[in-house]
Structure 1
Amino acid sequence: MDHTHLENNTSYIASQDLLDAVNIAVTLQKPLLVKGEPGTGKTMLAHAVAETMNKPLYIWNIKSTTKAQDGLYTYDVVQRLYDSQFGENVDDISQYIHYGKMGEAFMANEQVILLIDEIDKADLEFPNDLLWEMDQMEFYVKETHQTIRAKQRPIVIITSNAEKELPDAFLRRCIFHYIEFPNPDQMKKIIHAHFDHIDDELVKQTMDTFYRIRDVKNISKRPSTSELIDWLRALIAGGVDPATIRKNLPYSGVVLKKDQDIALVEKEFHPNIRRHVR
């Protein structure tokens, strides 16, 4: 993949280190594990790569209850039993096999991008349970005695919010990259990618206030890039004077999502104001 294509993507701003990590993962045919705090563009990376390479994107969203098997296939034994009770022909077991996102990616006729999103939400055994499938690019469907092999090895991008450590055996199989939170220069590029025309003073005052909020000690949920973009949209819609942003913190509920954080920020910005926190 040509570096400049992804770099020039109008909707995604990537550092050169991240571009290099993507290219290395594609070249070595290894999964790319991307870590970073929420709002650093981990999920959007897969969208940008798919758009740049003009390949389909398969998204496997991981939850706390997700098992590795869910991404391969499930066997709907209940539906088969139900059909048999009503006289349906249930000899063809394959009609009760439902493939998950990894299974679909393996079975695709063309190479696809497979995003395994927020892998750290699942239990600790989840990554280890995928080791064979990730290495061999195949899995066995015991109900139909069929081995499903990847027709084209998918480009696998895995995201993690770094909420828990992943197993060493899994990490050894991945190319790793940690996305740092955007610095002000990168953030300006991101903002201008989202807004065709925006007042420079509004950007300056909002960004200064935003980064100062993120630096407030003991804040429990630091605002992310997406919340900054939403805040700018709210400020524009409300016709807010940029000069009043730091003093008044207009629409603070867009950028801060916890009452305790709002109180901490107000205390930092206006130490003489006392606010009751329930």
Structure 2
Amino acid sequence: MELSIYRGDGSGRRHETPAELPVPQRSQLVKPESYIADSALRDACNVALLLGQPLLLTGEPGTGKSQFAYSLSWELGFASPFKFETKSDSIARDLFYTYDALRQFQDVQSGLKSGNALDYITYRALGIAILRTKEPEEVRHLMPPDSLHSEKQRSVVLIDEVDKAPRDFPNDLLNELDQLYFRVPELGNVKVEADPALQPVIIVTSNSEKDLPDAFLRRCIYYNIPFPGPDRLAEIVACHLGLHTDGSDGFLQAALNLFHRLRSPSVGLRKKPSTAELLGWLISLRGFAGEVGNPMTNLDVVTRTLGSLVKTAEDQPKAQAMVKRWFEERSTNPAE
């Protein structure tokens, strides 16, 4: 069955009422209970938990570095992680809180408010996690009423893509990450320390776009997530999407074969497709080809869904040529 949600054929036809779009199937790809960690990642995580140190994860984009934090938090019975998305202009304080000094100044000038500093503080990922290790009554004077928690708890904090930040960012966090505290100068330089019994679990990810300071690395447990081999990749796909290599149509086996060919150095793609992109591609293939039959026997379907895997203009012609050769090889040797 042809997938036809948007036609774009110039026919001038319009839905009488707003169209009902399908529920995005991408939600299947981010379920924390479906995450499969390799044994070395499990060991690194357990070392970090034992020592109470941050776990620093590197690896190709799309290998599950960020998603690991959600898997860990889910399995340990915690709420979803507090996520800090590192930016090129991030400073160390941003990890704990932000302070809107401009709005405070404007309010004081206009006479709208007295300028109480607490009204202009917004706590961020690690700041919230540290505050939530304390009894509510202990920190009531530090938090806006609408953000005060009901009971103390432990949290997972994800510091995502730390290598995007200026070099001073990790250097300025050394003591705070060691001892899990922060200060708020706007509230009289009060020091907020995590309860050691409930200290946050910190996961840091990096795409290795630039080196991290040695002093920062010394404070972390490190693991590089390797790109999964064929067997583990098949296991990951089966767990997320329920597709198995022993299916009668050979869909997954053929898709993985082509996927690995596209990643091979001989094809020369500048940006190799990732595990996450593979999962999205498999969903796209099924969407275009329908539930019956093997989409990997249809060159047109495979070509039309390549945008799920290949994301640059310079790589598209190389990938299309590779796909065409792959189909030609399979037509002469169906057993491949």
Going from structure 1 to structure 2, the CA distance change for 1:55 and 1:10 (only over 3 Å counts) comes to closer
Q: Take 2:305 and 2:104, find their aligned partners in 1: how far apart are those partners?
A: 53
CA deviation digits over 1:146-199, x for unaligned, max 9?
Answer: 111113310000001111111000000000000001111111111111223564
Q: 1:248 to 1:69 in 2, by over 3 A?
A: closer
Amino acid at match of 1:110: Q
Deviates more, 1:91-100 or 1:121-130: 91-100
**For 1:176-225, what per-residue CA distance to the aligned partner results, in whole angstroms no more than 9, with x for missing partners?**
00000111111111111122356461101110000110114431110011
Q: Does 1:261 align with 2:315?
A: yes
Instruction: State the partner residue of 2:170.
Output: 127
What SS does structure 2 have at the residue aligned with 1:262?
helix
Superposed CA offset, 1:227-256 (max 9, x none):
111111111112254234599644211111
Q: Give ranges in structure 1 of 5+ residues lacking alignment.
A: 1-8, 272-278
Question: Which residue of structure 2 lines up, in the alignment, with residue 221 of structure 1?
Answer: 271
1:150 corresponds in structure 2 to: 194
Distance 1:259 1:253 in 2: 10
Q: How far is 1:80 from its partner?
A: 1.5
* Contact 1:209/1:246 (8 A) holds in 2: no
Worse overlay, 13-22 or 61-70 = 61-70
**C-alpha deviation, 1:89, in angstroms:** 4.2
Residue equivalent to 2:122: 98
RMSD of Structure 2 on Structure 1 (CA)? 2.0
Return the alpha-carbon distance in structure 1 between the equivalents of residues 320 and 279 of structure 2: 21
SS at 1:259 equivalent:
coil
Deviation at 1:91, TM superposition (A): 5.1
The worse-fitting range, judged by mean Cα deviation, of 81-90 and 210-219 is 81-90
Does the 8 A contact of 1:71 with 1:101 survive in 2? Answer: yes
1:239-258 equivalences in 2 (<5 Å):
239=289, 241-244=295-298, 249-258=303-312
Equivalence map 1:265-276=2 (5 Å): 265-268=319-322, 270=324
Matched residue type, 1:222: K
Q: Secondary structure at the match of 2:314?
A: helix
Which letter maps to 1:251?
T
Contact 1:206 1:245 in 2 (8 A): no
My pick for the range that moved more, 247-256 or 167-176, is: 247-256
Q: Give the equivalent residue in structure 2 for 1:186.
A: 232
Alignment of 1:1-278 (within 5 A): 10-56=33-79, 57-90=81-114, 92-108=116-132, 109-145=152-188, 146-151=190-195, 152-197=198-243, 199=247, 201-217=250-266, 218-239=268-289, 241-244=295-298, 249-268=303-322, 270=324
State TM-score, norm by structure 2. Answer: 0.73
**C-alpha spacing 1:93/1:219, structure 2 compared with 1 (3 Å):** same
Which residue of 1 is the match for residue 8 of structure 2?
none
8 Å contact from structure 1 (residues 73, 97) kept in 2: yes
SS, match of residue 114 in structure 2:
coil
Task: Indicate the percent of aligned positions where both proteins have the same amino acid.
Answer: 37
For residues 109-142 of structure 1, what are the alpha-carbon distances to aligned partners after superposition, in whole Å with 9 as ceiling and x for unaligned? Answer: 2110010011011111111111111012111111
